[in-house]
Amino acid sequence: SEEYDEEEDEMRYEEDEVFPDDLFYSFYYYSWQAVKAYQDVLEQVPAEFSKPAAEVLKLL
């Protein structure tokens, strides 16, 4: 929903704190929610991906 501002993004990396605490933890929270959302998919992966999928499922 936000417009991407390339110049503002570049300036952010010039600062000492690239990811402020509120954004840093938010990223991990939503990443974890995305992994949990795919739990059913991970349980039905093809045999060639079963070992990595099993490792992820252990974390859930």
Residue 39, in any domain of the structure: yes
Number of domains in the chain: 1
Residue 9 in any domain: the answer is no
**Cα first-last separation, the chain:** 30
Q: What is the pLDDT of residue 29?
A: 79
- Judge contact between 57 and 43, C-beta under 8 A: yes
Neighbours of 34 (CB within 10 A): 9
pTM above 0.85, yes or no: no
Residue at 32 is within a domain = yes
Domain containing 46: what range?
Answer: 19-59
In a domain, 26, yes or no: yes
The DSSP letter of residue 51 is H
Give the C-alpha separation, 16 to 28, whole Å. 20
**pLDDT tens across 9-49, in order?**
776 666 666 556 666 677 777 888 888 888 888 888 899 98
